[in-house]
Amino acid sequence: MKRLVTFLYAVLAGLAISIGGIAYLSIENKVVGAIFFTVGLFTVVTHGLNLYTGKVCYVFENDKAYALNLPIIWLGNLAGAVGSGLLVRLTRIAGISVRAAELAEIKLADGPLSIFILAVFCNILIFVAVDGFYRNEKHVGKYIGLFLGVSVFIICGFEHCVANMFYFTAGGAWSLKTLLYVIIMTLGNSVGGVIIPLMRQLKAKSEAGSERAAAGIK
């Protein structure tokens, strides 16, 4: 039952990110669209949904069970994003599929290394946005950080694996190459998400070692 709930909360996260993607595709102005895309992550963090790109950031700060849940979350995100993309194509706003197809074409024309690097950059910002939201005690500050972090990665063209699951579906662009690129994006997001947490752990260990050394000297 617990894993089922984990999966369903991940499906909802995929849906939330997809709604953000719909907003982005519906607005001609890229900057404004990027701002409104943030509604997806805002929904995820305020309702405690399971988004792979957010959860993977804390994999080294939790136990083995946490890590084993990540594939379930990824599959749930995939189900939510793909399902949303298919449903959108059945509605009167299906016209956004044209923009989604154009976006997908740009991404699939890129090289694997570029995709990986852009995915790393993306999740560095996702971690900054999510961790800042949870750590910042000031309500205004946490929301500004959330909106800035997400908006910047959209404006820069960084790669978010779950958002792209939706774009590829809405644009009818799935293929074996698409699946490979989503996996590369996932790996890049995973690496980007753990960079700051690992550095934070390294810093904490270094400071603890310095304190023990100082105590020994005394």
**DSSP notation for 67-132:** HHHHHHHHHHHHHHHHHHHHHHTTSTTTTHHHHHHHHHHHHHTS-HHHHHHHHHHHHHHHHHHHHH
Per-residue pLDDT of 164-214, as tens digits, reads 999 999 999 999 999 999 999 999 999 999 999 999 988 888 777 666 666
> Running DSSP on this structure, what letter comes out for residue 61?
G
CB 61 within 8 A of CB 197: yes
What confidence category does residue 76 fall into, taking pLDDT thresholds of 50, 70 and 90?
Answer: very high
Domain encompassing residue 200? 2-212
Q: Which of 23-32, 52-61, 200-209 has the lowest mean pLDDT?
A: 200-209
- State the pLDDT at residue 213: 65
Contact between 41 and 122 (Cβ < 8 Å)? no
State the CB neighbour count (10 A cutoff) for residue 101: 15
- Say what percent of the chain tops pLDDT 90: 83
- CATH code, domain carrying 106: 1.20.1080.10
Tell me the two tokens of residue 217.
């000297």
CB 52 within 8 A of CB 186: yes
Specify if 178 maps to a domain: yes
Mean pLDDT for 53-82 is 96
Whether 205 is covered by a domain: the verdict is yes
φ and ψ at residue 48, rounded to 5 degrees: 65, 35
- Token pair of 49 as six digits: 């949904």
**pLDDT score recorded for residue 33:** 95
- Which pLDDT does position 205 carry in this prediction? 80
pLDDT at 215: 66
Quick check: is 134 in a domain? Answer: yes
Is 217 inside a domain boundary? no
The tally of domains found in the chain comes to 1
How far, in Å, CA of 56 to CA of 70, rounded? 7
pLDDT value at residue 158: 97
Q: What is the pLDDT of residues 98-139, one digit of tens each?
A: 999 999 999 999 999 999 999 999 999 999 999 988 888 777
Q: What is the pTM of this model?
A: 0.92
Classify residue 8 by burial, with Cβ atoms within 10 Å: 0-12, 13-18, 19+: middle
> Can you give the pLDDT at residue 214?
65
The predicted structure's pLDDT at residue 54: 95
144 vs 13, residue with greater confidence: 13
Q: Is residue 218 part of a domain?
A: no
- CA 59: distance to chain centroid? 14
**Tokens representing 116?**
């990986």
Rounded to the nearest 10 degrees, how much is the dihedral formed by the CA atoms of 143, 146, 147, 150? Answer: -170
